[in-house]
Amino acid sequence: MTGSGVQIERDTQLAIKRARQANDALAAEIARRPDRYAGFAHLAMQDVRAAIAELQRCVRELGFKGAMINHQTNGIYLDDPRYEPFWEVVQELDVTVYLHPDNAYEKPHVLRGCPELDKATWERTTESASHALRLVVAGVFERYPRLRIILGHMGETLPYMFWRLDSRYALTQTDRKSNMPPSAYLKSNFSVTTSGQFSDVPLACAISALGEDNVMFSIDYPYEDSNVAARFIEAAPVSEAARAKLCSGNAARLLRLSL
């Protein structure tokens, strides 16, 4: 369930119902090929208690590996205090949250009149990167240090920005909720996938910034071509040991997959 999914639904009870239906449908497909498939829970983040209950059900009863959350929910981001119980349960379950991109809640003024930059071209990248940074500066990882977040598209440009983020953050005069520079949390609490970024340059940057243990191959099907993705990772200028980690080892370890 990518895009907004049920998170865009204004009727909270309907969102809860449809999230459960989506998860049950996914579980049925996984049951047909358990050697090949695993799942992320789809959650109605409009209702924190319901989202917690559904995540617990999906992990404990359906065997899902975590959750995929599609960015903000009707303008509410995941650093909002209402989500504190949710993060507590995510850490308790010891599962991963994939923070998936979606459109801005309100169109940024800078993008108005430039539809070529809408959605996946640029809008969702800046949105996802900013959302991840909100979690960092809000102190979410101070309170829940064992959380693991996955970002797609080679980290939504963040690996490229580590030095500047730390440099400028050090000059902020606000009461900081995080004790370490932003890059420290991005290195310790985040992994990234290659989804929709099939280029050697961002791959090299992601590995340099995060280490080869925190980068995972992904295609972004059906939005990207599987053959293009396969040719990219097979020819990427990395060692064979690193390629094995990127292609399967890191995901198996992080998501506890049986290969």
Active site residues: 220
Query: Nearest-CA neighbor of 119 among 131, 105, 129, 104?
Result: 104
The conformation of residue 111, written as its DSSP 8-state character, comes to G
Cα angle: 186, vertex 189, 190; to 5 degrees: 65
E strand or H helix at 190:
strand 190-193
Helix (H), strand (E), coil (C) string for 45-108: CCCHHHHHHHHHHHHHCCCCCEEEEECCECCECCCCHHHHHHHHHHHHHCCEEEEECCCCCCCC
Contact 154, 202 (CB under 8 A): yes
